[in-house]
Amino acid sequence: MKTIIEPFRIKSVEPLRRTTPEDRERLLDRAGYNLFLLDAEDILIDLLTDSGTSAMSTQQWAAMMRGDESYAGSPSFYRLKSAVQDLTGFRHVIPTHQGRAAERILFTVRCRPGHVVPNNTHFDTTRANLEFTGAEAVDLLPAEARDTQARLPFKGDMDVPALERLIAERGPAAIPMVIVTVTNNSGGGQPVSMANLEAVREVTARHSIPLYLDACRFAENAWFIKQREPGYAGWTPRQIAQKMFSLADGCTFSAKKDAFANIGGFLCTNDDVLAQQEKDLLILTEGFPTYGGLAGRDLEAIAVGLDEVLHADYLEYRIASTGYLGRHIADAGVPIVEPPGGHAIYIDAGRMLPHIPHAQFPAQSLGVELYRHAGIRTVEIGSVMFGEHAQNELLRLAIPRRVYTQSHIDYVVEAILEVNARKDGLKGYEITEQPAFLRHFSCRFRPV
Ligand code: F0G
């Protein structure tokens, strides 16, 4: 059979609350046209993020009941540690309350003013945490990958010659680590090839620079390698993931993505001295090293999720359903970041709405219109989020894991195509109030 179905059935459901167009007009006005300021109950389909929004499985809920809440030495921690070590091979597993806490601890211990840390593309919290230590965050994506329309199989790959140049210019001593983000979220959810990881590994090893994975979406990346990279078709997703981790010296991980957990993360390393420094800081800010700011039940949910996410039928469905949304809108003329990524589709609103100047936020306009038209929430990744540094005006539709069915996605496709049919009438927005930094979370707008 060629139909790819959701590889689960539904045991517990949550009702969706419908609003009328008049309600939504009023709610938008009240929220200053900022979708972050809407109440979740006023949203029909929420594609704001795939982070912490997964549906957990029966096995995860069952495991949560055996969560052991001991302050020190909980068996739930040892179950998590063994799941992480089996997957990654790393010696030290340090739990944290989410991904950015792992980043903060790693960077606080390793980074100083004068340091520079390259990444294929830093996620915004990663960049912010690095800059907070005084270090410089540099993105090394090849020029061809910046073209939203280029259909490259591994558009998340790091630019290895640029990495070599950076090391030659700044010297290895100024580079405390190199990070590769799999998949590359800010670059469109695009995968990184094993060959690229191996090439980066070769360079970092030659200069004795530690290589870290920002591994939030490691399983989705592994599936793309299996499908697209010669030599891996016969490998299991677990074998591919194990090889990816074996090339690195450590990782940061947000369990809110590919571990199907609603909260959690961890930091791994093979370096005993570094692990001790990290655990000392962990105790100061997150908690004892066998819980790291999480409840024992969270550790259990993550341990089970790390196994489930590597099931081939899940990954086949996951990547196919993201591609389904992408192809259905792109083939009908809506420009997206090509090819479809793993966890999200990014509409190129700058290209779709050329009559709205960047300074009037075309992706914000499209996001507001999708909510107004159909109750769908998305997130702007463009000039609202990055100001003058924005490379593109994108609207991200992130797909929560195991939450929405194909008919929900069909509804999203229909809504986007209806808005696309009258796109020339969409207007720009201007900002009326904004905070000093990370303005996208709380600024207010007015239609121009
Ligand atoms: N790294 C990447 C690549 C991410 O996508 C995120 C979070 C983090 C680190 C931080 O993890 O949220 O657990 O602290 N991304 C979410 C998103 C928020 O919507 O893309 P966290």
User: Could you write out the DSSP letters of every residue in 317-381?
Assistant: HHHHHHHHHHHHHHTTT--BSSSP-SSEEEEEHHHH-TTS-GGG-HHHHHHHHHHHHH-EE-EEE
- What atom of ligand 1 comes closest to residue 265's alpha carbon? 13
* Domain count across the chain: 2
Task: Give the domain-ending residue among 253, 288, 308.
Answer: 308
Would you say residue 376 lies in a domain?
Answer: yes
Report pTM.
0.96
Together in a domain, 261 and 167: yes
Domain identity same for 203 and 164? yes
CB 139 within 8 A of CB 129: no
Residue 243 maps to a domain: yes
Answer whether residue 204 is part of any domain: yes
Pocket test for ligand 1, best of 125, 192, 214 (most atoms within 8 A of CB): 125
CB-based contact 260:401 (threshold 8 Å) = yes
On whether residue 15 sits in a domain, the answer given is no
Report the C-alpha gap between 268 and 270 in whole angstroms.
7
pLDDT of residue 391: 85
| 277 and 174 share one domain | yes
**115 with 255, same domain?**
yes
Q: Measure 417 CA to ligand 1 centroid, in angstroms.
A: 29
Assess whether 233 and 371 both reside in one domain.
no
Query: Which domain-ending residue is among 273, 308, 343?
Result: 308
How far is ligand 1, taken at its centre, from the CA of residue 253, in Å? 9
The number of the ligand 1 atom at minimal distance from the alpha carbon of 217 is 3
189 with 296, same domain?
yes
The CA 189 to ligand 1 mean position distance, Å, reads 12
Round the average pLDDT of the chain to a whole number and report it.
97
Within this chain, do residues 83 and 115 fall inside the same structural domain, yes or no?
yes
Residue 301 belongs to a domain: yes
Q: Is there a single domain that holds both residue 304 and residue 316?
A: no
> For 217, which DSSP code?
T
Nearest CA owner, ligand 1 atom 21: 99
* 67 plus 162 within the same structural domain: yes
Backbone region of residue 333 per phi and psi (left: phi > 0; alpha: psi in -120 to 50; beta: other values)? left
| pLDDT beneath 70, residues of the chain | none
348 CA to centre of ligand 1 in angstroms: 21
- Co-location of 218 and 324 in the same domain: no
Q: Of 279, 308, 337, which marks where a domain is finished?
A: 308
- From 100, 104, 106, 263, give the residue whose CB has the most ligand 1 atoms within 8 Å, as the site to mutate: 100
What's the gap in Å between 399 CA and the centre of ligand 1?
14
Q: Which residues span the domain enclosing 356?
A: 21-50+311-447
In a domain, 7, yes or no: no
Same-domain pairing of 284 and 380: no
Asked if 80 and 32 sit in the same domain, the reply is no
